[in-house]
Amino acid sequence: MAIEILMPTLGATMKSGTILEWFKKEGEEVVEGEPLLEIMTDKIEMEIEAETSGVLLKKLYDTDVEVAVNEVLAYIGEIGEEIPEKQKVASPATDVLNEESLKSSLHSSGVDVENDVENLNKPRRTPAALKLAKERNVDLQSVAGSGPKGRIHLGDVKKYLKASDGVVKSTPLANKIADHHQIDLSAIKGTGVNGKVVSDDVKSNVVEPPHSQELTKTPETVPMQGVRKIVAKRMVESAFTAPHVTLTSEVDMSQSMELRKQLLPIIEKQINKRISYTEIIMKAVAYTLGKHPMLNASLNEDEIIIHPQINIGLAVAISNGLVVPVVKDADQKGLAELTDSCKHLGSLARDGKLTAEYMSGGTFTISNLGMYDIDAFTPIINQPETAILGVGRIHEKPVAINGALEVRPMMAVSLSFDHRIVDGAPAAAFLTELKALLENPFHLLV
């Protein structure tokens, strides 16, 4: 009997997954435990392994198709074995999944953004190809992928290395400028990684004739796909589904700064990690949510679910999208444990090693842009949660204290909440108590 391969369920809020790539063609032999296809769901790219050995009899969906959880994706069995009749393979053009399959987590602006512009066009590649590329310092942007949708395989990297022996290594933009000005790249000393010729190296060798016209610049086209595409859909879904209301307040961070100063050497000695304001804010949020449970709730059709656990998501921007790893039971953790958890999850996010376990179960989200020159912003709710807290920078400004002007370190906080679940007064009470706690943070140690 043919074995069904199903779209897995990786969390209570997951309703669908998108097929990124099939590793096998129909009729090809499959070995148990071998990667069969790659999917994306809840911002996670993961491979689905074959549960049995045999032949891939039928694929029911093409790539870039969104499929509901527990739906059959393919059949594995013996050659000639009958399979249940299904509709023909769906394609992106014929995909008719309704928009309800998109209603899951989305993420507002996050922290620790990678500033390397080249990473915005990070190529698709297999783990083996990435490992060899790192070992040999190969820029995968220069490697042509032979897999579906240009995915780079190990053989592609080997082929590139063989062909590039003795060839000047240069970036695509450097090649384009050199071709336009008919410059020999072999005569240019590269200043990039391992001597790679970059665009600035070529530009410094350009000799413009008098009254020459500037190079015609053409716009760059970046496909909206993968994580970026799903984040965009869910952001629109949240913005037009949940009636957002945002309340903003300012916090005097003088005492929080003093608390961090005193705890910094203690926690660093204990766990070899430095506490940041993020952990202090998270601790204060978790404490305040315990007193305002309606902010720690979610909407499921006509029911409001008030969660017994306080699991706080921390929005983290990565090179090609946004993820929100979750700190479970944040209210039960001390500041040292929160520091350890946040630093660990941030590292996993930037290395692309987050699994569904780290991404599920969130009940409230914090989005911190404090490392940028941003005073305040309006975060978008990470559905199905009720609220999200946006955090701006800490900067000194004059404020009135007992009738006199003083310079204090002030920080703006913005609370966006779903007005279907919470009214303005309860949300304002939450933000007011959070402000008071951050201005008197030593209460967190009691």
Tell me if 56 sits within 8 A of 28, measured CB to CB.
yes
CA atoms within 13 A on the CB side of 209: 3
Q: Are strands 72-77 and 297-300 parallel, antiparallel or unpaired?
A: unpaired
Distance CA 60, CA 50 (A): 15
Tell me if 5 sits within 8 A of 30, measured CB to CB.
no
Q: Are strands 326-327 and 72-77 parallel, antiparallel or unpaired?
A: unpaired
Residue whose structure tokens are 């404490």? 287
Distance CA 220, CA 334 (A): 47
How far, CA to CA in Å, does 418 sit from each of 234, 299, 424, 431? 15, 9, 10, 14
- Structure-token pair, residue 155: 């053989």
Options 153, 180, 395, 419, the catalytic residue: 419
How far, CA to CA in Å, does 250 sit from each of 85, 397, 418? 61, 11, 21
Tell me if 424 sits within 8 A of 387, measured CB to CB.
no
How far, CA to CA in Å, does 185 sit from each of 165, 167, 189? 15, 10, 8
Residue whose structure tokens are 């910094």? 264
Query: b or e along 261-276 (b: 16 or more beta carbons within 10 Å of the residue's beta carbon)?
Result: eebeeebeeeeeeebb
How far, CA to CA in Å, does 358 sit from each of 48, 190, 270? 18, 42, 24
Long-range contacts of residues 428-432, Cβ cutoff 8 Å, at least 24 apart: 428/247, 429/292, 430/288, 430/289, 430/292, 430/295, 430/387, 431/247, 431/249, 432/249
Distance CA 105, CA 324 (A): 9
The helix (H) or strand (E) run that includes residue 251 is: strand 244-252
**Nearest alpha-carbon partner for 113 in 314, 319, 300:** 319
153 is catalytic: no
Tell me if 145 sits within 8 A of 156, measured CB to CB.
yes
Write out the E strands in 50-136. Answer: 54-59, 66-68, 72-77
The set of catalytic residues is: 419
